[in-house]
Amino acid sequence: MLKSVFITRLQAKPPFKVSPFQWVLDRNIRSRSSINKSAMAPPPILALALPSETGRVLSIQSHTVQGYVGNKSAVFPLQLLGFDVDPINSVQFSNHTGKLLISLHSNSLRPETRWEVIWYPTFKGQVLNGDQLWDLIEGLEANNLLYYTHLLTGYIGSVSFLNTVLKVVDKLRSINPGLTYVCDPVLGDEGKLYVPQELVSVYREKVVPVASMLTPNQFEAEQLTGLRVYLVGKIRGGLGQGRDKVKQGNWGCSLLSYVCNLMHNGTWLRSYIWFLFVFLSVNYYLSYSLDGYFVRILSEQDGKEACNILHAAGPSKVVITSININGSLLLIGSHQKEKGQPPVQFRISIPKIPAYFTGTGDLTTALLLGWSNKYPDNLDKAAELAVSSLQALLARTIHDYTRAGHDCQSSSLEIRLIQSQDDIRNPEIKYKAQIYN
C-alpha cells in the first residue's frame, strides 16, 4: 500500500526521468532480502521515496561560518523554492578572506577610479581536497543516496578538486542521465583572476562541454571564450573596428589583415589556404605562448557572440550575469533550445548600486537554477525573477546598513538573506527582459 502511494505521488508530477523510488528499491532489494526477518527494516529515504516536486540538488561550493557566500548563499534560497539540497563545502572558513580592489566605472580600471573594499583582517578554516570529496561521494553511493536531479558548483580552488568534480558529474549522470549541471565558473572579476591560471583551461576544455547551464560574469566569459570571439567578430565585420579587444598580439591583427586583402584581391583557393595557415598559427601561439590573454567584451554584440561560442562548446543555457558596457550594467542571457538552431537571446538592464556585496554571484546562480527549473523553456522569465529577487534583497541590505549608521561604501556588506525570504519566494518582477531580434 505504501509503495503504491509513493508511485502515485511520483506519477502525479515526476521531476525525474527515472523513478528514484524504483532506483532505491532495486538497489536495496538484494541486501534487504538477506536481513533477518525479525530485524526492523530501515525507514525509507523520504527525499527519494517522496521527492519534492522541484528536485534534489547536490551543491559543491565554499562555506563560511559567518556571512553569506557559496553554499550559505545558495542552499537556503533553493530550499525556499522547494528543492531538497545536500551541500558539500569545498572550503570551510570562519569568514570572508582578504581584501579586494574594485572599480565603480565600467570602462576604466585606472587607479583613480578604484576604491578599496575591506574584508576581515584574518580567517581560519579548512580546504577540502579531491580525495576527500570523492570519499563523500563514495559514502553516498554506498548507502544508495546518490540520486540527484541537479548538480550546482561554485568556487573551486585547485585543478585536482575540479577534476574530481568532473568525476562526480560522470557518476551522477551514470545514475540519472537527465541530471542538470549548473556551473558558476568562479574565476575572477574586474580583470583579475581569483584562482590559479591553469584552472581556466580545465574549465574551458572539460567543464563547459558537460555543463547544462553556465553563469559567468563578464571577465569569466572573456576567459572561457578566449580568442574566438575576436576572430569571429573580425572576420564578419572586417578589421577596421575593435582592434583594442586583445591586450597584445598586434602581429595577429596584421596577419589577419593580410588574409582579408588576399580574400579580396586573390583567388579563393589561395585565400582559403592562407586563412587556415594564419588561423592555426594564431591559435597555436595563443594556446602555448600567451596563456592568460583574453578577449574583451566591449559591446552587447560581443556578449551575444560569447554566448554563441559557449553554446557551441556544450551548455544550452548561458547567462552572463553582469556586463559593464558604456556605464550601463546588463545581464545577457541565451537559450539554445535545439542544437544547430539560433538561440533565444535577451538582456536585462540592472541598476548600479555604489556598494560591494558578498555572495551575490552565488545567490544569482542559485536563483537561476530554481526559476529555470520552474520555467524550463523560458530562461528570460527565470532571469526576470532572479534579478528582481536579487535587487529587492540588495535594496533591503543597503537600507538596513544605512539605518544602523554604516557607510555602505566603506566596506563589503553581508547580504540580508534571511530577512529577504519573501522576495525570494514571491518576487515582484520589476526588471523585464528585452528579447533581441
Instruction: Provide DSSP, 281-319.
Output: HHHHHHHHT-TT--B---SHHHHHHHHHHHHHHS-SEEE
The phi-psi region of residue 399 (left if phi > 0; otherwise alpha if psi is between -120 and 50; otherwise beta) is alpha
**How many Å apart are CA 158 and CA 160, to the nearest integer?**
5
**Residues near 174 by beta carbon (within 8 Å), at least 6 away in sequence:** none
**How many Å apart are CA 183 and CA 202, to the nearest integer?**
13
Angle between helix 228-237 and 218-225 (nearest 10): 80
Over the Cα atoms of the chain, what is R_g? 24
What are the distances in angstroms from CA 58 to CA 259, 272, 417, 423?
Answer: 49, 48, 20, 24
Q: Supply angle C-alpha 247, 312, 256, rounded to 5.
A: 40
Cβ 295 vs Cβ 310: under 8 Å: no
Closest CA to 149 of 102, 171, 181: 181
Amino acid at 84: D
Beta strand spans in 129-220 (E): 150-153, 180-183, 188-189, 192-193, 213-214
Q: Is the dihedral of CA 391, 321, 194, 100 positive or negative?
A: negative
SS3 82: coil
Helix (H) or strand (E) holding 350: strand 344-350
Cβ 151 vs Cβ 179: under 8 Å: yes
- Chain length of the chain: 437
The one catalytic residue in 184, 362, 380, 423 is 362
Q: Which cell numbers hold the place of 214?
A: 553556465
DSSP label at residue 91:
E
What are the φ and ψ backbone dihedral angles of 45, each rounded to 5 degrees? -85, 105
What are the φ and ψ backbone dihedral angles of 398, each rounded to 5 degrees? -60, -45
Residue 362 among the catalytic residues: yes
Q: Which residues are catalytic?
A: 362
